[in-house]
Amino acid sequence: MRVRVCAIALVLVASGCTTGDREPPVQPTAGTATTTGTTASPGASAPNPVNCAHIIGGVDAPDSDYTIVGDAVAVTTGRVLQANPNSVDGVAESAFFAKDGLLVRRGHTVQLGIGDGAAGRAWLGWGSPATPSAQVGVGPCDQSTHEWTAFAGGYWVLTPGCLPVQVSVAGGPAREVLVPVGSACPGTG
């Protein structure tokens, strides 16, 4: 039990709503995600790959703050992520960074991308070092002895708020989850 608590703590330490023609996303509760009708993987360009060698640990199961998408990737939606001023190359000087560990189920391939409503105003990245990108790809990674592998990284935003993130598993339909970056999304505290 102590090892699991330490692993979860390590993941946590290391770690605008959409507009347009489609229906607005529904805020998922922990353990769920909503389908937006998008059938392609997130984003238009190739995702920035996250190297499996950058795994920082793992857990046997994500905690209740995570929404699990496609039984393969877990994204924090159940708590507001702390957004601190931070600037890195490729991101505006006034950007905020919210550290958040990403959990990917061992052996699965996933892509995460910034939703259309936040394109050009938000970026995400995991790995060492995490590189801000409109979209990332992870896996398959089989090196962990845990069911869920953990990667350090997080989100960069120009303005803290409810960040739409498109998530695709194994090239399947994208699902949108709302990540509370520095500000609550509807249904989060």
> How large is the average pLDDT for residues 157-184?
96
* Residue 104 lies inside a defined structural domain of this protein: yes
- Looking at residue 105, its pLDDT comes to 96
Return the DSSP state at 81: B
* Residue 134 lies inside a defined structural domain of this protein: yes
| Domain with 99 in it | 2-181
- Say whether pLDDT at 30 is over 70: no
* Residue 187 lies inside a defined structural domain of this protein: no
As for how many domains the chain has, the answer is: 1
Checking DSSP bridges between strand 135-138 and strand 48-50, what pairing results, if any?
Answer: parallel
pLDDT digits (tens, 9 = 90+) for 121-168: 999 999 998 989 999 999 999 888 899 999 999 999 999 999 999 999
* Residue 188 lies inside a defined structural domain of this protein: no
Mean pLDDT of the chain: 79
- Say whether pLDDT at 25 is over 90: no
- Looking at residue 143, its pLDDT comes to 81
First to last CA, the chain: 27
* Residue 189 lies inside a defined structural domain of this protein: no
User: Nearest Cα to 114, choosing from 181, 189, 28, 23?
Assistant: 181
Confidence category of residue 90, pLDDT binned at 50, 70, 90 = low
User: Which tokens in the block code for residue 106?
Assistant: 């061992």
Give Cβ neighbours of residue 116 (< 8 Å, ≥ 6 apart): 18, 19, 20, 164
> How large is the average pLDDT for residues 93-108?
93
Within 13 Å, how many C-alpha atoms sit on residue 16's CB side? 19
How many residues would you count in the chain? 189
